[in-house]
Amino acid sequence: MISRRLVLAGLTGVAFNHGFQQVAQAASTASAPLNAVDYGLQPGSTQDQTAKFNALLESASAKGNQVFLPVGTYIVSAILCPSYVNILGVTGQSRIVYAGTSGFVQASDSKLIQFTGLVFDGNGKPLGDKAKGLIEANNVSTLLIRDCTIVGSAQNGLSLFQSGGAIDGNRISGVADAAIFAANSTGLAITRNTISDCGNGGILVHRYDKGRDGTIISGNRVQKIRADSGGTGQNGNGINVYKADNVIVADNVVSDCAFTAVRGNSAGNIQITGNNCTASGETAIYSEFAFEGAIIANNIVDGAANGISIVNFDDGGRLGTCTGNIVRNLSVRGPYAGTFGIGISAEADTTITGNLVEGAPTYGLQLGWGPYMRNLVASSNIIRNSGEGIYVTVVDGVGPAIITDNIIQGAAKGAIVGHKWDEVAMKDLTQKGSAYPNLVVERNIVS
């Protein structure tokens, strides 16, 4: 039996749904996408359509409308984005191609910029003296670039300053400088992008003055990063964080970089976790110079000159944990003259625990350098087939270190060796560690 209460409830629901549909339809009508063809743009035209494109963006911004860009090629230059821009294309088929005059796509002081399903092709043409990237965003409150293809930039792919938002699921390649350069960001997420064949860098997150940044870099694939402009580490990195604190670098797959897969330079409170790093030309994972606070955990390094470095105590680099990483197949050859073939190195206020290092031809672990060592713990690591198992500095005045419960197998030049810089000062600290009161060397298994 159908009750009166049920009937009334049903009628109320019908009335509510009808009212909701009316509101939804009204909202849909008010924000219906503007088809670019209806505003004079011609897919496939060989003419420069910059003026029509800019006029369409101004009109859509004033009305709060999305712009739909049908399949085809649109040749433009100097696209100037107003306060609100939302362009939707057909993935891989809606192509915006640079005409090669003065800059390509620029947004300054905008509230919302959203690009979805578009191809931005720079054709490798010069962008002009002032442009820094194929797409430039300065002081953009919310920048959303999703499912886009960005190719052929003569400089950076994306050049972002003081902007927040999400760069997600894009494909960036054939870029002369860096795929993504983001400075002084205001809440940025760089996720699930595929980046390859870049001249100097993959993802660069910088600040001009050291401070809190908070960018999230996660789930990206970065490969084939060169160092065309040279140097000893400022170029050629898959992911580079500079002076930007509180950044998370997690779950990225990074391969074939001229220098480093993940490099934190003066980046405090950085988390580098769960990354898969192969074929790095220099050190695979770096936390260097004036950093305080670094968590480096659960990463895989396979193929590099050095594995993981947490160093530069002389410049204030300190306070880290290095846990649960696998480092293997290292080489003594690097991109410049220096000492390579080191698994994990650290200098100050750092724990190195539960890692596995295999095939480090110089040192499995390096604890300190010269007078630079303080408060190190190296415990419960497995080190196999290395030159020396563990290097530890014993220069007068160095701070304390605890070296316990490690398994060291096949260390051809000694298991735990005391050094004064490059010189061997004590061949076997497993037997004579007590000669140095600042060292605790106990319960290590050597075979």
- The CATH number linked to 273 is 2.160.20
H/E segment holding residue 118: strand 118-121
Residue 66: inside a domain: no
CA distances (Å), origin 19, targets 7, 10, 296: 18, 14, 54
pTM (two decimals): 0.93
Return the number of other C-beta atoms located less than 10 Å from residue 32's C-beta.
12
**Structural domains in the chain (count):** 1
Q: Give φ, ψ of 133 to 5 degrees.
A: -165, 165
CA separation for the pair 150, 203 (Å, rounded) = 14
Q: Supply the pLDDT for residue 129.
A: 86
| Residue 74, token pair as written in the block | 């649109």
Q: Residue 84, SS3?
A: strand
CA separation for the pair 199, 221 (Å, rounded) = 16
Digit-by-digit pLDDT tens for the chain (447 residues) are: 334 333 334 433 434 344 434 433 433 334 689 999 999 999 999 999 999 999 999 999 999 999 999 999 999 999 999 999 999 999 999 999 999 988 999 999 999 999 999 999 999 999 988 899 999 999 999 999 999 999 999 999 999 999 999 999 999 999 999 999 999 999 999 999 999 999 999 999 999 999 999 999 999 999 999 999 999 999 999 999 999 999 999 999 999 999 999 999 999 999 999 999 999 999 999 999 999 999 999 999 999 999 999 999 999 999 999 999 999 999 999 999 999 999 999 999 999 999 999 999 999 999 999 999 999 999 999 999 999 999 999 999 999 999 999 999 999 999 999 999 999 999 999 987 678 999 999 999 999
Residue 199: inside a domain: yes
CA separation for the pair 203, 220 (Å, rounded) = 9
Q: What b-and-e string marks burial along 305-328, b requiring 16 or more CB atoms within 10 Å of the CB? A: bbbbbbbbbeeebbbbbbbebbbb
Residue 147: inside a domain: yes
Residue 39: inside a domain: no
CA separation for the pair 239, 150 (Å, rounded) = 18
Q: Between vectors from CA 68 to CA 67 and to CA 71, what angle results, nearest 5°?
A: 145
Comparing CA positions, the residue from 301, 309, 358, 346 lying closest to residue 325 is 301
CA separation for the pair 326, 301 (Å, rounded) = 6
CA separation for the pair 365, 350 (Å, rounded) = 13
H/E segment holding residue 19: helix 4-30
Q: Supply the pLDDT for residue 431.
A: 84
Residue 346: inside a domain: yes
Q: Which residue has the tokens 């050629």?
A: 236
Return the number of other C-beta atoms located less than 10 Å from residue 137's C-beta.
25
In this structure, is the dihedral angle defined by the CA atoms of residues 435, 440, 441 and 442, taken in order, positive or negative?
Answer: positive
Find the domain containing 377 and state its range.
83-446
Residue 64: inside a domain: no
Q: Supply the pLDDT for residue 435.
A: 86
Q: Supply the pLDDT for residue 101.
A: 83
Q: Supply the pLDDT for residue 27.
A: 36
Residue 151: inside a domain: yes
Q: Supply the pLDDT for residue 18.
A: 42
Q: Supply the pLDDT for residue 79.
A: 97
CA separation for the pair 280, 259 (Å, rounded) = 6
Q: Supply the pLDDT for residue 299.
A: 99
> DSSP per residue over 181-221, as a string?
EEES-SSEEEES-EEEEESSEEEEEEEEEEEE---EEES-E
| Residue 243, token pair as written in the block | 């002076």
Q: Supply the pLDDT for residue 32.
A: 86
Q: What b-and-e string marks burial along 98-134, b requiring 16 or more CB atoms within 10 Å of the CB? A: bbbeebbbbbeebebbbbbbbbbbbeebebbeebbbb
CB within 8 Å of 331: residues ≥ 6 apart:
303, 304, 305, 340, 341, 361
CA separation for the pair 312, 155 (Å, rounded) = 31
Residue 12: inside a domain: no
